[in-house]
Amino acid sequence: MILNAFSMNCISHIQQGMWTREDTRQTEFNSLEPWMELARIAESGCFDTIFLADVMGLYDNYKGGSETSFREAMQVPVNDPMLLIPAMASVTEHLGFAFTSSVLQAHPFTFARQLSTLDHLTNGRVAWNVVTSYLPNAGHNLGFDGLPPHEERYAIAEEYLEVIYKLLEGSWADDAVVNDRQKRVYVDPDLVREIDHHGGYFDVAGPHLSAPSIQRTPVLFQAGMSERGRDFAARHAECVFVVGSSRSGQALDNDLGERADSNGRGRSDIKLIGGVAPIVGGTEAEAAAKREEYEQSLSLEAGLAHISGNIGADLGEIDPDQPLESFRTERVQGFIKNLLDSAPAGTRTMGDLIKSNLAGAWLSGSAEQVADELERRFNNGLDGFNLTYTVTPGTFIDFVEGVVPILQERGLVQDEYTEGSLRKKLFGSDRLPTTHPVAEFRY
């Protein structure tokens, strides 16, 4: 069972409003020490990675603007996740680091060098969460007239990855670095080649400026759940962050397995990662009391701003006391259906349900109960979990001290790390397999 500590280099990530509490370090995000502390905690619990989310724009459509996002620190201010990794790597030995970067935000030649640098500095412990962006403000920030259409963003992503593969895998031979002081030869120039890529979106001559790292290409994460996103994941991804995992793990397992097979890959080549926000108590009652207390700190306004950006519709006029069943809209039918499915009919208002869904996946109970539910989801098709914090690092400490020992005793999570790169820990090899499309571009 893969365990990732899910966070973001900002004040308020998923559960909006919790930053106002005294028992969380969210407002200290500008400092390195809290991140180094988190890395130590995650490694003490034998977590596989710290998974860092990111956005390149504002949630700016709630009530027609971004004021609520700024006021509530709702994913703004937000800093670059990549720059945290060397500091966290310096105080850990085995923990992996997955970070999010959009194919729209950096030229692939520049980004390839950043990937190689991070993989070198961490001794092969880096993963890249490939995203195509969804906030219109990100498109305006990055030189587009808003966001390119959904299908075009994935077309860009396909070519972007092709360039990355050519640079990381195809530009340098494995033995290009000679490092011979006597002959005064560090790199054999005959073993480095240009990639000479000319495509619809990018022209890159090469060669890659960095020598090959342990993994060459970092472990590839992906989170798109649209039809096009699933096709992309089945072709490229090694770890797929899935939504709705508590109810639909088996269906997603079957779906992605079929898509992977059609791309010449096996289901074992892809790990499905569900999202969960654990609230762990010494007893069920203690956890319930903690959850009730947390609910008082949640911000409905910030939650609505977050959801408005996610679904592309302004929920600013919503009545929090309105019965859920009476809410009608042409824009967000899937969203409302998911909320209806998560509560008994006629029992919740829009305000109740939005507040309870700010985490998306709160799971509260005793350590034994939380372990039982994770085991159930694991047996239902998921390979692991992104663990979202309610307070940090307290949520992770509670999980490491309470739930991890139970899962270890059941043989469901590792109780010590294997040696080697992140990919070797997860899949048994430093390099991507020959069934992956990267093989087409290798030196």
* Model pLDDT for residues 251-285, shown as the tens digit of each residue: 778 888 899 999 999 989 999 999 999 999 999 99
- Strand, helix or coil at 51? strand
**What pLDDT score does 236 carry?**
97
pLDDT value, residue 248: 57
- List strand residue ranges (DSSP E) for 16-120, in order: 49-53, 96-102
**Mean pLDDT of all residues in 416-428:** 97
Evaluate whether 108 touches 160 at the Cβ level (below 8 Å).
yes
Instruction: Compute the mean pLDDT over every residue in the chain, rounded to the nearest whole number.
Output: 91
Lowest mean pLDDT of 12-21, 77-86, 223-232, 327-336, name the range. 327-336
Annotate 95-149 with DSSP letters as a single string: -EEEEEEETTTS-HHHHHHHHHHHHHHTTS-EEEEEE----HHHHHHTTSSSPPP
Q: Has residue 415 got a pLDDT over 70? A: yes
How confident is the model at residue 332, as a pLDDT? 35
For the cut 90, the answer to whether the pLDDT of residue 398 exceeds it is yes
What is residue 416's predicted lDDT score, i.e. its pLDDT?
A: 97
Lowest model confidence (mean pLDDT) among 107-111, 227-231, 417-421: 227-231
Q: Which residues pair with 62 in a beta bridge?
A: 65
Residue 333: its pLDDT value, please? Answer: 40
On whether the CB atoms of residues 25 and 397 are closer than 8 A, the answer is: no
- pLDDT of 339: 56
What's the CA gap between 249 and 186, in Å, rounded?
Answer: 50
- Give me 257's structure tokens: 């397995």
Statement: residue 247 has pLDDT above 60: no
Q: CA-to-CA distance for 74 and 390, rounded, in angstroms? A: 14
Among the listed ranges 191-200, 241-250, 293-302, which one has the minimum average pLDDT value? 241-250
Average pLDDT of span 20-37: 98
Cis amide leading into 77 (omega within 30): yes
Q: Locate tokens 């509490």: which residue?
A: 21
End-to-end CA distance of the chain: 34
* Domain range list for the chain: 2-170+206-284+361-441, 299-357
What is residue 8's predicted lDDT score, i.e. its pLDDT?
Answer: 98
Dump pLDDT digits (tens) for 169-201.
999 999 999 999 999 999 999 999 999 999 999
Give the per-residue pLDDT at 400.
Answer: 98
What number is the average pLDDT over the span 324-353? 57
Which CATH fold would you assign to the domain 2-170+206-284+361-441? TIM Barrel (3.20.20)
* pLDDT per residue as tens digits for the range 124-176: 999 999 999 999 999 999 999 889 999 999 999 999 999 999 999 999 999 99
Give just the sign of the alpha carbon dihedral 310, 311, 317, 320: negative
Q: Cα angle at 386 between 385 and 387, to 5 degrees?
A: 105
Task: Average the pLDDT over 330-335 and give the result.
Answer: 40
**Is pLDDT at 324 greater than 80 in this prediction?**
no
Q: What is the pLDDT of residue 361?
A: 65
